[in-house]
Structure 1
Amino acid sequence: MSENNLKSTFWDRITDVNVGMLSAKGTAPRPMAHHAIKEDNALWFLTADHTDIGEDAAAGKDARYQIASGEAKLYAVLDGKLSIETDRAKLDQVWSPMDAAWFEEGKADPAVRLVRFSPKSAEIWAHESSAKAFYEMAKSTVTDGTADLGDHGKVTF
């Protein structure tokens, strides 16, 4: 699969993934729910200003986001940069009822920080159906070959 096709598959499938592990350089990974917007070439996160992710984003740190979803048939390790977004329209665009559970005053809570993760590069694994994966594993056992479980590659954004 070409780099462009693998990136397209990534953006198509990331919307079916709920949570990944986000970490800035020197910070332990944290489970974070994302809002993927292909047109922004970004993943958006909501956090509180006093959290390590909020502080790392305010400092503009390099970060890594890791995804493992059998349901979405997508596995990825993305490297990029964190930043704080202050545009209220973008907050309105990504806000969901699930986000409200984390903030007493909802979107108006002064602690809300909208964090942009801008990926620079990624290693992506995208496989097809589970049936195909089982077939490939069985075939490799019988033929002493290796299973072809899907597409894999490194991409830049």
Structure 2
Amino acid sequence: MSDHDLKTTFWDRVENVNVGMLSATGTDPRPMAHHARRDDGALWFLTAKHTDIGEDAAAGKDARYQIASGDAKIYAVVDGTLSIESSRDKLDEIWSPMDAAWFEEGKDDEDVRLVRFTPKSAEIWAHDSTAKAFYEMAKSAVSDDVANPGGHGKISF
């Protein structure tokens, strides 16, 4: 799979993932729900002002987002940078009923922080299907072939 194909696959499939593990340099990973926006070249998160992620984003720290989803057929380790976004239009665009559950005053809550994660690079494993993966493993067990259940590679954004 080419870099371009792997990037396209990443954006196509990450839209079908609900949660990953986000951590800034020097902090422990936290489960976070993302909003993928290919056109922005970003993953968006909502958090509270005084959380690790909120403070790390305000400081513009480097971060890592780890995705593991058999349903979406993607596994990825994505490195990038966190920042705070103050655009009300962007907040309105990504806000969902799930986000409202975390803030008493909804998107008008003073504690809401819209965090932009801008990917720089990633290592991605994207398999085609469970049936193909099993076929590839069975084939390699009875031949000299190495199993190839899908795409794998490192990309830059």
TM-score by length of 2: 0.98
> For residues 4-153 of structure 1, what are the structure 2 equivalents within 5 Å?
4-153=4-153
- The 1-side partners of 2:5 and 2:135 are apart by 24
Give 1:142 deviation, angstroms. Answer: 1.2
**Long gaps (5+) in structure 2:** none
- The 2-side partners of 1:56 and 1:69 are apart by 26
- The 2-side partners of 1:89 and 1:13 are apart by 25
Q: CA deviation digits over 1:55-99, x for unaligned, max 9?
A: 000000000000010000001110000000000000000000000
Give 1:144 deviation, angstroms. Answer: 4.2
- The 1-side partners of 2:67 and 2:143 are apart by 32
**Long gaps (5+) in structure 1:** none
Q: CA deviation digits over 1:99-147, x for unaligned, max 9?
A: 0000011001000000000000001111101110110111111114321
- The 2-side partners of 1:124 and 1:83 are apart by 23
Q: What SS class does the counterpart of residue 27 from structure 1 fall into?
A: coil
- The 1-side partners of 2:107 and 2:79 are apart by 28
Q: CA deviation digits over 1:29-74, x for unaligned, max 9?
A: 0000000000000000000001000000000000000001000000
Q: What SS class does the counterpart of residue 72 from structure 1 fall into?
A: coil
TM-score by length of 1: 0.98
- The 2-side partners of 1:152 and 1:140 are apart by 18
